[in-house]
Amino acid sequence: MERVLIYFLPMANTKSAIKRVRQTERKTAVNRHNRARLRTQVKTLQGDIESGSGENAQKNLPATVSSIDRAVQKGVLTKNKASRMKSRLTRKVNALAKPAASA
């Protein structure tokens, strides 16, 4: 089912304004898809971290980092936010692996 956004803005009157509305709708759909894909990947990794599954977390970390980098290329995230996310997730995964290594 398609989401319909309702805005209480004046209707576009010129051809160029109507075209911009069409372009914005297309770009919004693409950005929504890319953002959802990123969030799903990050949530999967966070679920592995919270469940204490170090092996799955280690396996999913490269895919998550790749998704974050792809989101930067697509313009969904800024470089700094992506770097911060990757750093935090990597630290959490490494913290899971460290107790297992010392045991």
- What is the dotted CATH code of the domain comprising 38-97? 1.20.58.110
Question: What is the H or E stretch that residue 101 is in?
Answer: helix 79-102
Tokens of 23: 């372009």
Give the pLDDT score at 7: 61
Radius of gyration over alpha carbons of the chain, in Å? Answer: 19
Reduce the secondary structure of 18-61 to three states and give it as a string.
HHHHHHHHHHHHHHHHHHHHHHHHHHHHHHHHHHCCHHHHHHHH
Give the pLDDT score at 53: 87
Tokens of 78: 């800024």
- For 18-60, the pLDDT digits (tens) are 899 999 999 999 999 999 999 999 999 999 999 988 899 999 9
Tokens of 55: 């092996």
Mean pLDDT of 2-15: 71
Q: How far is it, in rounded angstroms, from Cα 57 to Cα 52?
A: 8
- State pTM to two decimals: 0.78
Amino acid identity for residue 6 in this structure? I
Sequence ranges of the domains in the chain = 38-97
- For 45-98, the pLDDT digits (tens) are 999 999 988 899 999 999 999 999 999 999 999 999 999 999 999 999 999 887
Q: How far is it, in rounded angstroms, from Cα 45 to Cα 34?
A: 17
